[in-house]
Amino acid sequence: MQQAFTPTNPLTLPAWQALQSQRVAMHEYSMQAAFASDPERFERMSISHQGILLDYSKNLVDKTTMQLLLELAAQAGVPSALQAQFRGEPVNTTERRPALHTALRRPLNDPLLLDGKNIMPEVRHVQEQMERLSNLLRKGQWSGFDGQAITDIVNIGIGGSFLGPQLAVEALQPFASDTLRCHFLTNIDSSEFYQLSRRLQPGRTLFIVSSKSFGTLETRKNALAARQWMLAAGCSLQDLSRHFIAVSSNIAKAVEFGIAPENILPMQDWTGGRYSIWSAIGLPLAMTVGMRHFKDMLAGAHAMDMHALQAPLEQNMPVIMALLGIWYINFHGAQSHAVLPYDNYLRYLPDYLQQLDMESNGKQVRHDASPLSYSSGPVIWGNLGTNGQHAYHQLLLQGTRIIPADFIIAARSHNPVADHQQWLYANCLSQTQALMRGKSLQQAENELRAAGLDASEVARLAPHKVVPGNRPSNTLVLSKLDPQRLGALIALYEHKIFIQSVVWGINAFDQWGVELGKELGGNIFPLLQDKQQSATGDSSTLGLIQHFHAAGPLGPKASR
Ligand code: F6P
């Protein structure tokens, strides 16, 4: 019989308690000494799967720590929770629904029963719709109201209906069509629409309104602005269907908005917004790189799914990454986690992972509503290497906080120039090495003496040059950045995040917190529209509303 999904309280687990003692026992642990005494450390502490190598040897863990962390995963029921998620149990307990993004990349002929019904034919049907539309567009067979072929796709969406497509479209640029350009319209700040629309020709532009709920304010407002823009450019009401497609699970609302029913691609309730790049939300990607590459990305993700499900815990990449994160968050007090891609095409990975991780694991109660007395998800931040080395790496190296970091790099560049790739790789490794090794006072003093400084200068400067070292990092090396590897990389992080949520006993698939801002925004908006309306509330908000009115009329545009 299959085991039901049973959420945990980690504080009750023996491994959690043992890890607390282990943390104390390890207070003098030195990674550098561990490397010196164990030449096999890299060999033992790296995993390779699907063209992705995870080196986790530069972490503050010894064999006992790893053993205890793996016991924690087993005691928290990670393997059975993964199975429960994959087979469609309602792991999203507050909304009583499954989180079946994994079904979207499952082989289409492998049935998956949900409430007694095989859902794979629906998945196939949507992929066929995506294929038909993207083929039309890529062959120049989709024309706008003035008869010209569409050349520009604008994805209107926000959150999960934006960040995944943005990441993947950029990451797979080497595979992109030369004739189609993909843009993103997200923010309710009208400057974004203004700046984008100046670069577009209405007759050659196709808007994809991407919104699972079709109720998101920013997306609806931008879709309305786009519609007005098309009409003002001479497109008839009838021809609007040549310029608007929708992706949504709320078909009725999309139709009500005015999207032609044949132009609406469905999304299922069981696809969470931030887990939706695999669904029709991936349409801008399919159009940009073609359905063949989109399917390769699905295949890469599926291979990572099988690894997460089947690899033993000690050889399981997402399990290891999740456990190391827990070790730092819950036993070392780490508050944030840096994501540092050393690949320009992965420039949007930190943004993507911010939503994926922080919206999933930014929770303060367990499934059973009991409050957490331990930390949950960290602040995720980061940006491109090597740029960050000349900005915030100083704090990673000499600041007072422990900030675990993931360094992500492709072994080979799509666009080799001279010796840039060697330098890029060298920089990436130099940072993880500097974090691990640091520089002792003795080393700093010796260097200064060797440079000819006198004793008082050596004493004055040396302490400033000390780098503590012993700071943890993972390195992920992709053999190359292609659709399979991208799919596997994203799926790796999805599983890591879910596994952490299982250990913490929290729901990774809801996001009730974000609703409060939406509610309050709805109350404030009428007060900004009409200054005569009487307002009550805190003096800060009231003062800021008055300040808005005092700024005078809303128009006109700045002159150039
Ligand atoms: O702001 C929260 C959120 O609900 C995200 O979870 C979601 O990805 C985003 O808004 C967009 O939602 P939708 O796709 O329904 O427009």
193 alpha carbon – ligand 1 mean position (Å):
19
Locate the ligand 1 atom nearest the alpha carbon of residue 219 and give its number.
16
Pocket lining: 218 vs ligand 1, CB cutoff 6 Å: no
CB of 354 closer than 6 angstroms to any ligand 1 atom: no
316 CB within 6 A, ligand 1? no
Predicted confidence (pLDDT) at residue 66 exceeds the cutoff of 70: yes
Instruction: Give yes or no for residue 395 CB within 6 A of ligand 1.
Output: no
pLDDT of 479 > 70? The answer is yes
Asked if 518 and 159 count as a contact pair (C-beta separation under 8 A), the reply is no
Ligand 1, atom 6: nearest CA belongs to which residue? 273
Q: Which two tokens stand for residue 479?
A: 């053999």
50 and 303 in contact (C-beta within 8 Å)? yes
Q: Rounded distance, CA 279 to CA 270, Å?
A: 11
Rounded Cα–Cα distance for residues 244 and 225 (Å): 12
Closest residue by Cα to atom 1, ligand 1, is: 514
Measured CA to CA, the distance from residue 264 to residue 216 in angstroms comes to 17
- Residue 414 is a catalytic residue: no
pLDDT band at 445 (very low <50, low <70, confident <90, very high): very high
The continuous run of DSSP H or E covering 523 comes out as helix 513-529
- Judge residue 259's burial from the number of C-beta atoms within 10 Å of its C-beta, 0-12 exposed, 13-18 middle, 19 or more buried: buried
Is the C-beta atom of 98 inside 6 A of ligand 1? Answer: no
Q: What is the pLDDT of residues 493-515, one digit of tens each?
A: 999 999 999 999 999 999 999 99
Give the position, in ligand 1's atom list, of the atom nearest the Cα of 274.
Answer: 8
Give the Cα separation of 44 and 62 in Å (integer).
11
Q: What is the pLDDT of residue 223?
A: 97
Ligand 1 contacts CB of residue 217 (under 6 A) = no
pLDDT of 1: 36
Q: Are 299 and 105 in contact (CB under 8 A)?
A: yes
Query: 557: which DSSP letter?
Result: P
The pLDDT score that the predictor gives to residue 557 is: 67
pLDDT digits (tens, 9 = 90+) for 171-213: 999 999 999 999 999 999 999 999 999 999 999 999 999 999 9
- Average pLDDT for the chain: 96
| Residue with CA at minimum distance from ligand 1 atom 3 | 159
* Catalytic residue (one of 125, 139, 332, 518): 518
Active site (annotated) includes residue 480: no
Selected residue with higher pLDDT from 520 and 232: 232
**DSSP output for 331-394:** HS---EEEEEEESGGGTTHHHHHIIIIIIHH--SB-TTSPBPSS--SPEEE---TTGGGGTTHH
Mean local confidence (pLDDT), 319-341:
98
Tens digits of residue pLDDT in 293-317: 999 999 999 999 999 999 999 999 9
pLDDT in tens, 4-57: 467 789 999 999 999 999 999 999 999 999 999 999 999 999 999 989 999 999
Q: Which of 101, 211, 213 to mutate to test the pocket of ligand 1 (most atoms within 8 A of CB)?
A: 213
User: Using CA positions, which residue lies closest to atom 16 of ligand 1?
Assistant: 211
Q: Left if phi > 0, otherwise alpha if psi is -120 to 50, otherwise beta: which for 333?
A: left
- Report how far ligand 1's centroid is from the alpha carbon of 533 (Å): 30
Which residue has a Cα nearest atom 8 of ligand 1? 160
Instruction: Indicate which atom in ligand 1 lies nearest the CA of residue 511.
Output: 6
Reported as a pLDDT band with limits 50, 70 and 90, residue 531 is confident
HEC secondary structure over 147-167: CCECCEEEEECCHHHCHHHHH
Catalytic pick among 359, 393, 445, 495: 359
Q: Is 511 in the pocket of ligand 1 (CB under 6 A)?
A: yes
Q: State the Cα–Cα distance between residues 462 and 554, nearest whole angstrom.
A: 57
Residue 533 has a pLDDT of 82
pLDDT at 535: 82
Mark whether 390 is an active-site residue.
yes
Whose alpha carbon is nearest atom 11 of ligand 1? 159
pLDDT at residue number 2: 43
pLDDT digits (tens, 9 = 90+) for 253-262: 999 999 999 9
Q: Cβ distance 165 to 211 under 8 Å?
A: no
pLDDT per residue over 412-424, tens digit each?
999 999 999 999 9
Q: What tokens does 257 get? A: 């908005």
% of the chain exceeding 70 in pLDDT: 98
The pLDDT of residue 37: 98
CA of 164 to the centre of ligand 1 (A): 12
* Ligand 1 center from residue 514 Cα (angstroms): 9
Distance (Å) from CA 221 to ligand 1 centroid: 14
The answer to whether residue 558 scores a pLDDT higher than 80 is: no
Mean pLDDT for the stretch of residues 152-178: 97
CB burial of 515-552 (b: ≥16 within 10 Å; e: otherwise) equals eeeeeeeeeeeebeeeeeeeeeeeeeeeeebeeeeeee
Question: 399, 396, 403: which is closest to 378 by C-alpha?
Answer: 403
Q: Is 250 in the pocket of ligand 1 (CB under 6 A)?
A: no
Instruction: Say how many Å lie between the CA of residue 363 and the centre of ligand 1.
Output: 17
- Rounded to the nearest angstrom, the distance between the alpha carbon of 57 and the centre of ligand 1 is 37
* Residue of 40, 43, 262, 390 marked catalytic: 390
